Structure 1
């Protein structure tokens, strides 16, 4: 029994000496519970809504105020013409537009008052959630008015998904998968590959060769860059010819955004390789440190609008969040560069900063 207890004490001392293992065992579960507990929400909160109200009567104003008072919606803009509907979707101002019929108040007792709910169909799950919640608010308002006036009042509500009228989930799935696949191949495999060279002692041999360190690192990254480009092409071919997902925008801009994102992911892999000493640590850092945030905070699975403000700030530093947003706009909405200039600029800035930091850190590591 004493021998058993001595071995137990030895294992505890070993764990407490290894701070990284201690962090993984005690801190990581708490972080995951907190992040996922706040990020994974099925309810809707503060979704941005735009309104087109040609009637401008007392009833439409009451409905707009009811939407604004709801915890589910925030009315961010009132449109002057139907032409503004595409604009608010393309620049990301709103995810839902509520369109009232003309002479809404006078048509309400006759059952001729209509409301059209137009949602951005690039994310069909989010679009369905928005329209369902909006229909619930409108149904509650209609029931309240009927009880108040004791006369029939019927609002005809029609829902429509812009850019994706069939509500195909592949429209949202394909751009998201591209971001995850590129992050997996570039960051994870690059970091593990470079750390493996250092762990086995072959990196020093390579650095002693006539080749410059920069050329050695580029030679390590080039295969993963090539494989990533091949994966982008393969996924796009499958999306178009098998899943029926359109590419409405420019192929040139699509290629440029993808190449910049690949550079960002490769730089992240290089940076991780300078911070860890073993392949297991590189695998854990890339898998948990990159893949989990990419899945949770990219907007692929969980809508960012439903997250607390602090988590939305975290989402802003996740490269895949900007890449997936840009790819949706290019592929599904078919917009010009002015509509995804923010995403393109953020990714380019991330690429420049990560390339500079990771290369500087790598040189210091090897010296």
Structure 2
């Protein structure tokens, strides 16, 4: 035990003396959380639109005022003809044109359906779809209120569960947590062990009184502790800066995160065993773990929309299950009765990787 503690202290001092490693470990989580939270937000805010009001009645003015009053859209141009729409789009200042037809107010009073035309800039299809969805919700809210008020005086209430303000943070924070912990645990662990091979000190360590397994464990412990510190830092940033409280059990979230961190550490150890240079270890870590996590874990694209073969591959990625758990616990506030299957799968992956790491380690190093 004394030898293990001594070696862990040595590894800690090695990490603390390396300023570049410290910058990656602590700078990257802060930058990514702030970047996704403020610069790369998927929310629609203050989008400039044009309006062609062919009705020019009190109802159409109320609708325009309702649209202009929210935080999502700003009415930048009032058009007089449909021919001005193309010129307005070419200027690049507006992203949508709302066309209110004639007899809009009259049709609304008698309960007839009135088609309001939404013209969007399709050069950015993702942004166009987001703008369309936000505007559709506003129009449905307006139509529902007007129609039901005239019929029975009832006003509908529209609620968006778990994210009523349609913020971007609930979408990306769980994914950023999975991605950062993956990079730190896998990449840093793999490089730390391979560095010993490249410098020739691994052979010296292996002939020392310490067991090889103790050496590997001592290499992994510092990154486990650092990963827990970084995890807590991300949660603090999310709660304080992004106004994203933890709805569920913090203890459950930390428990699952420990399983995920150990799983990633084992992946890093396996990569370090099968590689001999830092460049190869880094390439395998980034291409073999980070890219699949980004593309197939559900963080960027819905897993349900992928072809079946890609869904099968996605199920083999630990981050996919961790991402689902974090969303349920942190955003929805669910307990272990909902996520126990994901925990079992993640724990099973950890056990399988542990067996593989032990067997590969014996073959390569003993």
TM range (shorter): 0.5 to 0.7
* CA drift at 1:223: 0.8
Give me the whole-angstrom Cα distance separating, in 2, the residues matched to 1:157 and 1:318.
42
Q: Where in structure 2 are the equivalents of 1:245-256 lying within 5 Å?
A: 245-256=244-255
Alignment-derived partner of residue 174 in structure 1: 173
CA-atom RMSD, angstroms? 3.1
Alignment-derived partner of residue 304 in structure 2: 305
Give me the whole-angstrom Cα distance separating, in 2, the residues matched to 1:341 and 1:110.
53
Following superposition, which runs of at least 4 residues in structure 1 exceed 4 angstroms of deviation?
109-113, 156-159
* CA drift at 1:158: 7.3
Alignment-derived partner of residue 62 in structure 1: none
Alignment-derived partner of residue 353 in structure 1: 352
- SS of equivalent residue, structure 1 residue 340: helix
Question: 1:262-293, CA deviations, whole angstroms, 9 ceiling, x for partnerless residues?
Answer: 01100000111122121110000001111100
Structure 1 alignment gaps of length 5 or more: 1-108, 114-124, 140-155
Aligned length: 232
* CA drift at 1:340: 0.8
Q: Where in structure 2 are the equivalents of 1:81-120 lying within 5 Å?
A: none
Give me the whole-angstrom Cα distance separating, in 1, the residues matched to 2:260 and 2:308.
25
Question: 1:119-171, CA deviations, whole angstroms, 9 ceiling, x for partnerless residues?
Answer: xxxxxx9xx87x949x79xx9xxxxxxxxxxxxxxxx9975421110011111
- SS of equivalent residue, structure 2 residue 160: strand
Q: TM-score, normalised by structure 2?
A: 0.58
Structure 2 alignment gaps of length 5 or more: 1-108, 114-125, 141-154
Alignment-derived partner of residue 14 in structure 2: none
Question: 1:237-273, CA deviations, whole angstroms, 9 ceiling, x for partnerless residues?
Answer: 1111111101010111101100000011000001111
Q: Where in structure 2 are the equivalents of 1:27-66 lying within 5 Å?
A: none
Alignment-derived partner of residue 332 in structure 1: 331
Q: TM-score, normalised by structure 1?
A: 0.58
Give me the whole-angstrom Cα distance separating, in 2, the residues matched to 1:111 and 1:168.
34
Give me the whole-angstrom Cα distance separating, in 1, the residues matched to 2:359 and 2:216.
13
Question: 1:201-243, CA deviations, whole angstroms, 9 ceiling, x for partnerless residues?
Answer: 1111011111111111111011100110000000001111111
Larger radius of gyration: 2
Alignment-derived partner of residue 343 in structure 1: 342
